[in-house]
Amino acid sequence: QSQELSQVRVDYHAALQALVEDGTRMVCTGRMHTDRICRFESLCYSTEAEEFVFFHSNYSVMLPNLGSRRFQPALLDLSSVEDHNTQYFNFVELPAAALKFMPKPVFVPDVALIVNRFNPDNLMHVFHDDLLPIFYTMQQFPDLDLESRLFFMEGWGEGLHFELYKLLSNKQPLLREQLKTLGRLLCFTKSYVGLSKITTWYQYGFVQPQGPKANILVSGNEIRQFSKFMMEKLNISLEGTPHEEYIVVFSRTINRLILNEAELILALAQEFQMKTITVSLEDHTFSDIVRLISNASMLISMHGAQLVMSLFLPRGTTVVELFPYAINPEHYTPYKTLSTLPGMDLQYIAWRNTEKQNTVTYPDRPWDQGGIAHLDKIEQDRIMKSTEVPRHLCCRNPEWLFRIYQDTKINIASLIQVIRQTVKSKPGPKRQKWASGLYPGKVRDAKCQTSVQGTTEAKLSVSWQIPWNLKYLKVREVKYEVWIQEQGENTYMPYILSHQNHTFSDNIKPFTNYLVWIRCIFNKNLLGPFADVLLCST
């Protein structure tokens, strides 16, 4: 590896002099440790101490300068999982003069992105926690281009899906263990530390039961841009492939099995008049799976990490997630949340086994595969009798593990019935006719005119022009919402209108000041911004 690093030649003398004279320079974004990413010049890492080192000199910069708050609890999260106490980043401080007494630094010439992977053996974690956040962190900082290098500091080996990480940059990612072979003191010429959490949609239940993140900031568009990038890197192109419609059953072969898979496949093929194929991580290469899913009409799978691959499905197609006995689909929604992100344009269907005679349990397996033999008898009995796993925290709840690692004989009639409630005709991609998800601008040139009729009646006429962007858009339905608020009151009267002017006379009083708020609405639920408030006096 040391050869790799010297591909770009560093003027060693100049680099050392810069380090000794300028020290480490850090400028971060983010107000809290959970949303912080830091850019460094001359950040070092001691492979013996396994600690990052910040060298102070007359020119060093540390922004934010938090003092000891840097340890409360940390400077930043190294993984995209929020505030996980095994994933914190910090550094120790030294005067640059101490370099005289330290091992000779080895310089890393590549721009580095230094992060922790969260769980590189689980495909959902790989995509959600690592690949998407790395991809979009790299988009955030222009010098994190394809020539930059990833450094994974969580301490794991390559893991099962290392080839996916390799797609994100042209340089081989380096693992913490490998840094030792490079030298005792490594100094990153330019580096970024931390990962953007802006694309994550799920929290795994460390502090409250798992569920969608409270404030999801990603849409299907960004997920699909990422999928497109991955497909290009994997050399998968759908051009020229004849469009044949088919259903993919993504099966697991080790645990959480579908026991009547052959029967299921026949039934699906018959019901939907489509070829139905099986794929699994054990029997297919990753590229093959992506190629097949990216052209499929429907993806059916047991709940599990492999379902994250639905991010490769074409728009308008269907995800069917199967849940073993006593598992409530509403409590475990990483794949539902993904499929139903705005603009992801997937139909999501959950099916659960409600028949105890169709489940096969494994009480005698090790605890991490759902065994419960280690529990006391009363607890074992309670779990065996329970018909639904209560909500729980991650990650070692034995009742959850027991139930999620059951095998299931699918009641095919009930599954097809559930699918048919959503998929009426043939499943498959649908063309989008309308510019969807585009919001109106403000209405323009809003004006009011008033008139008074006698001592109790008055009229208020309001008119406005269409939002500027409307003339460039094909919108199915354009409506306007007008709120009329008497000045000084907390309440207002709302109206939905189809035209660009209206005369209000109900509840309009003479010699009164009204505030009039107007906004445009596209297709019933795309609410635009209110224009500047109008003051109208009768």
Q: Which of the stretches 247-255, 261-269, 394-402, 432-440 binds ligand UDP when contact is defined by CB under 6 A?
A: 247-255
Which of the residues 189 through 208 are near ligand UDP (CB under 6 A)?
none
Q: Give the rounded distance of the alpha carbon of 448 from its chain centre.
A: 46
In the complex, least distance from residue 404 CB atom to ligand UDP, rounded to whole angstroms: 6
Pairing of strands 318-323, 347-352: parallel
Interface pick for ligand UDP out of 219, 255, 260, 397 (rule CB under 6 A) = 255
Phi and psi torsions of 324, nearest 5°:
-65, 170
Report the 10 Å Cβ neighbour count for 439: 13
H helices of 346-449, in order, are 377-385, 398-404, 412-422
Interface characters, 286-305, with ligand UDP (x: CB under 6 A)? ------------------xx
C-alpha span between 322 and 283 (Å, rounded): 21
Choice between 108 and 305, CB closer to ligand UDP: 305
In sequence order, the β-bridge partners of residue 279 are 250
C-alpha span between 176 and 29 (Å, rounded): 25
Q: Which of the stretches 150-158, 246-254, 412-420, 461-469 binds ligand UDP when contact is defined by CB under 6 A?
A: 246-254
C-alpha span between 200 and 338 (Å, rounded): 10
Positive or negative: CA dihedral 126, 127, 132, 138: positive
Interface characters, 117-156, with ligand UDP (x: CB under 6 A)? -----xxx--------------------------------
In the complex, least distance from residue 29 CB atom to ligand UDP, rounded to whole angstroms: 32
In the complex, least distance from residue 465 CB atom to ligand UDP, rounded to whole angstroms: 53
Which of the residues 266 through 285 are near ligand UDP (CB under 6 A)?
281
In the complex, least distance from residue 317 CB atom to ligand UDP, rounded to whole angstroms: 20
Contact 201, 324 (CB under 8 A): no
In the complex, least distance from residue 396 CB atom to ligand UDP, rounded to whole angstroms: 13
Choice between 124 and 419, CB closer to ligand UDP: 124
Q: Look at residues 349, 245, 229 and name the one whose alpha carbon lies nearest to residue 290.
A: 229
Interface pick for ligand UDP out of 1, 253, 287, 537 (rule CB under 6 A) = 253
In the complex, least distance from residue 68 CB atom to ligand UDP, rounded to whole angstroms: 39
Q: Look at residues 516, 522, 535 and name the one whose alpha carbon lies nearest to residue 467.
A: 522
Choice between 281 and 338, CB closer to ligand UDP: 281
In the complex, least distance from residue 129 CB atom to ligand UDP, rounded to whole angstroms: 12
Choice between 124 and 138, CB closer to ligand UDP: 124
Choice between 134 and 302, CB closer to ligand UDP: 302
In the complex, least distance from residue 306 CB atom to ligand UDP, rounded to whole angstroms: 4
Q: Which of the stretches 116-124, 240-248, 267-275, 529-537 binds ligand UDP when contact is defined by CB under 6 A?
A: 116-124
Choice between 191 and 333, CB closer to ligand UDP: 333
Choice between 33 and 303, CB closer to ligand UDP: 303
Please report where in the chains the tokens 């409360």 appear, as a residue.
Answer: 72
Take residue 154 and report the two structure tokens written for it: 């969580």
Choice between 255 and 340, CB closer to ligand UDP: 255
In the complex, least distance from residue 128 CB atom to ligand UDP, rounded to whole angstroms: 11
Which of the residues 363 through 422 are near ligand UDP (CB under 6 A)?
none
| Rg, Å, the chain Cα set | 29
φ/ψ region of 343 (left if φ > 0, alpha if ψ in -120 to 50, else beta) reads left
Q: How many residues at the interface with ligand UDP, by CB under 6 A?
A: 11
SS (H, E, C) 86-149: CCEECEEEEEHHHHHHCCCCEEECCCEEEECCCCCCCHHHHHHHHHHHHHHHHHHCCCCCCCCE
Q: What is the DSSP letter of 425?
A: S
In the complex, least distance from residue 257 CB atom to ligand UDP, rounded to whole angstroms: 7
Phi and psi torsions of 25, nearest 5°:
-125, 125
Interface pick for ligand UDP out of 33, 128, 252, 442 (rule CB under 6 A) = 252
In the complex, least distance from residue 251 CB atom to ligand UDP, rounded to whole angstroms: 8
Interface characters, 305-324, with ligand UDP (x: CB under 6 A)? xx------------------
Q: Look at residues 424, 311, 407 and name the one whose alpha carbon lies nearest to residue 359.
A: 407
Q: CA-CA-CA-CA torsion for 260, 264, 265, 271, nearest 10 degrees? A: 160
Choice between 123 and 296, CB closer to ligand UDP: 123
Choice between 139 and 359, CB closer to ligand UDP: 359
Contact 371, 380 (CB under 8 A): no
Choice between 304 and 428, CB closer to ligand UDP: 304
- Residue 15, helix vs strand vs coil: helix
| CA distances for 367 relative to 277, 327, 362, 402, angstroms | 33, 18, 10, 8
Choice between 395 and 533, CB closer to ligand UDP: 395
C-alpha span between 76 and 83 (Å, rounded): 8
Contact 503, 519 (CB under 8 A): no
Please report where in the chains the tokens 């992506």 appear, as a residue.
Answer: 290
Q: Give the rounded distance of the alpha carbon of 83 from its chain centre.
A: 16
In the complex, least distance from residue 412 CB atom to ligand UDP, rounded to whole angstroms: 21
In the complex, least distance from residue 287 CB atom to ligand UDP, rounded to whole angstroms: 16
Interface characters, 416-455, with ligand UDP (x: CB under 6 A)? ----------------------------------------
Choice between 125 and 197, CB closer to ligand UDP: 125
Take residue 29 and report the two structure tokens written for it: 């974004």
Instruction: List residues binding ligand UDP (CB under 6 A).
Output: 122-124, 252-255, 281, 304-306
